[in-house]
Amino acid sequence: MGLGQRVQGDGAQYPWLPAALVLALALRLALPLAILLVRGDLSACHTRDTSAYLGPAESLLTTGRFASQGHPEILRTPGYPLLLLPGLVLGAVEAVTVVLQAGLGCLTVYLVWRCAPLVSPRPGAAAAGAVFYACEPLSVIYASELLTETLFTALFVAGLWCLLQYLQEPTRRALLAAATAWCEAAWVRPVGYYLPLLVGAWLLGRGWRQRRSGWRPLTHGLTFLAAAAVGLGSWQVRNWRVADYPGFSAVAAVNTYFYYAAAVQAREERVPYYTVQQRLGYRDEAVYMALHPEQRDWNQAQRYRFLSQAGWEVLRAHPVTTARVAAAGLVRTLLDPGGVEVLRLLGWYPATGGMLGRIVDQGLARAVLDACRRTPQVAWATLAAAVPLGLVLLLAAAGLVCGQRPGGAAMVLLALCAGYLLLAAAGPQGLDRFRHPVMPLLCLLAAHTAAPWFLGRNDPAEARPGPGRAAS
């Protein structure tokens, strides 16, 4: 189907999809161009985590090994470093990667457009979803940063689209495509590791309930789980073989010890969060080794095992405080507008201003208000990002609470994915960037509510369901 061709029941007298794609590309290229004009180069696209991906990417390019500082890399997974390779080869890693990420953002807009009719029975939902996501602030901002968010979200939505197609017309091909996309997403960001296992379990349960009509749905669930196990397990086998580390990624151990446990200790001791991190030796090898001199002769796998075990001991010792830290992180992830990130990119706010520490210590509202008082432009940036976020949240809530609601298996799948991604982001590290992959889901729900706004004048009030309509 051509990009400008009318979609049955979508009110497309106006070519909504081409307009949404052009708008998405323009917004995602406008920010790096502004950075270039204001700062003279694109070095601001680097973050504190960027070097952790560039190192393994350079190792892949020069030696063919996924390594860092001469050791097998087990903290990061290879998905995002592979995206950095074209830029490294061409000698312009920032410019090339930002352009690639702008293209991935446009691909995600297209995928949202394809997902919408499979979620909502309302004409105009596809157009609304595409326009909403084209303008979504987080997807615009993080397309200009050398971080995993844009690639992960594109792969996640690709897998979601395949699963929505499967729910409409069950085929193993759609299942295998979904499992492949979600395994690739986990190879980009390990936070996606358990998602295919969770959804696979749901598919199994759904197949078991439908067993009276045949065993095919049950075998499909097993097929999905088997494909996911192969895709995820292969990297774990690699880590075990090269570094004696059986996990998928050691980043979970780092987060548990230096983020979660540090935040819990900070609350228990009533001291600043960053103070505890510094005391534990986060990003300071000398301090860490002074605390644990016996680890000087340990390999990296032994250290990461220690971090995981020690971190979990702290969390288990303080379950109530741990729950509070997780809940606060969940709220931040869902409600932090993220406007300050634009100011960082443009050089109008400190690149390492300690904002996360203040938010963890003071709470999101107090920290943002304090930043607005100290730096007036923070208020405008926060407001500019909060308005579209608030609109999408309100429309999504309206679609769930009142009127004609999207229902059936498609809605259950969206709820599973959104719940998993938000809970995985809960904790002290939870900020706006971890809401990034949830925004396409919120845009789909908001599109269900706003669909009538996107109908053309000549469209019928009610259109017949198209071939991609989800069963309710």
Where is pLDDT greater, at 151 or 469? 151
pLDDT digits (tens, 9 = 90+) for 124-158: 999 999 999 999 999 999 999 999 999 999 999 99
- Closest CA relative to residue 73, chosen from 228, 235, 186: 235
Element (H, E) at 58: helix 50-63
Task: Please answer whether residues 87 and 45 qualify as being in contact, where contact means their C-beta atoms are separated by less than 8 angstroms.
Answer: no
Cβ neighbourhood burial of 103 (10 Å; 0-12, 13-18, 19+): middle
Where is pLDDT greater, at 165 or 430? 165
Q: Residue 361: is its pLDDT beyond 60? A: no
Contacts within 8 Å (CB) and 24+ apart, 298-306: 299/243, 299/244, 300/71, 300/74, 300/243, 300/245, 300/250, 301/74, 301/243, 301/244, 301/245, 301/250, 304/74, 304/75, 304/245, 304/247, 304/250, 304/253, 304/254, 305/245, 305/253
* Alpha carbon 324 to chain centroid, angstroms: 23
In order, the DSSP letters of 79-91 are HHHHHHHHHHHHT
Q: Residue 108: is its pLDDT beyond 90? A: yes
Hey, where are the domains in the chain? Answer: 16-454
Q: Which residue has the tokens 């809605």?
A: 411
What mean pLDDT is reported for the chain?
88
Q: Residue 163: is its pLDDT beyond 70? A: yes
Q: Residue 345: is its pLDDT beyond 80? A: yes
Confidence of residue 458 (pLDDT cuts 50, 70, 90): very low
Q: Residue 222: is its pLDDT beyond 90? A: yes
Element (H, E) at 67: strand 67-68
19-33, 246-260, 293-307, 426-440: which range is least confident on average?
Answer: 426-440
Interval 269-281 mean pLDDT: 93
Interval 398-414 mean pLDDT: 78
pLDDT value, residue 144: 97
Confidence of residue 376 (pLDDT cuts 50, 70, 90): confident
pLDDT value, residue 11: 43
pLDDT value, residue 211: 78
* Alpha carbon 452 to chain centroid, angstroms: 29
Amino acid letter, residue 62: T
Confidence of residue 281 (pLDDT cuts 50, 70, 90): very high
